[in-house]
Amino acid sequence: MFKDFEPFDIHTGVATIHGVKKGSGAPLLLLHGYPQTHVIWHKIAPKLAEQFTVIATDLRGYGDSSKPEGGENHVAYSKREMANDQIAVMHHFGFERFYVAGHDRGGRVAHRMALDHPERVQKIAVLDIAPTHWMYTTTDLEFARGYYHWFFLIQPYDVP
């Protein structure tokens, strides 16, 4: 699906992040949502690589990236830690400033990245996420039935 893209596996100190890279323009990091992998970008990434250096990764815990232990309170899977992985990937390729587009969970990781590393994120596109704080503070039975999988994912190991 990623013809002429270079696959990579980069160890960030805590996790090994898998991804693909192609292009020679401004750097653009693509982050997938739940439950996808970098493959979600397979139709648009080749077109984007005509203008950008596209880097599409699997977030830690997804696809071919490693799945480190979560630790106390699952902190190893926080958006902050996932964002730090991506900062390390971009640094590995020599990109200290870059564009980032994230879908769903990847959008949340991109948002955290922009908050923690504003000097690194040149521009951000956040796709298909809802305002979580508002949603959880106004949750009712109808919402819980419609988004049962969100509540499934917060159960203790090894339920999800």
Domains (range + CATH), the chain: 6-129 (3.40.50.1820), 131-160 (no CATH)
Say how far apart CA 39 and CA 65 lie, in whole Å. Answer: 13
Task: Give residue 160's pLDDT band: very low, low, confident or very high (50, 70, 90).
Answer: low
On the question of pLDDT at 132 being above 80, the answer is no
> What local confidence, expressed as pLDDT, does residue 38 receive?
98
Beta strands in the chain (DSSP E): 6-11, 16-22, 26-31, 52-57, 98-103, 121-127
State the pLDDT confidence band at 157, using cuts at 50, 70 and 90: confident
Contact 28, 20 (CB under 8 A): no
Please give the pLDDT value at position 9: 98
As given in the structure block, the two tokens for residue 63 are 């696809």
Alpha carbon distance 28, 49 (integer Å): 9
pLDDT single digits (tens) 41-81: 999 999 999 999 999 999 999 999 999 998 888 899 999 99
Range of weakest confidence among 1-15, 25-39, 69-83, 123-137: 123-137
- Per the prediction, the chain carries an average pLDDT of 93
Q: Give the torsion through C-alpha atoms of 116, 6, 105, 82, to 10 deg.
A: -40
**Global pTM?**
0.89
pLDDT digits (tens, 9 = 90+) for 76-111: 999 999 999 999 999 999 999 999 999 999 999 999
Predicted pLDDT at 129: 84
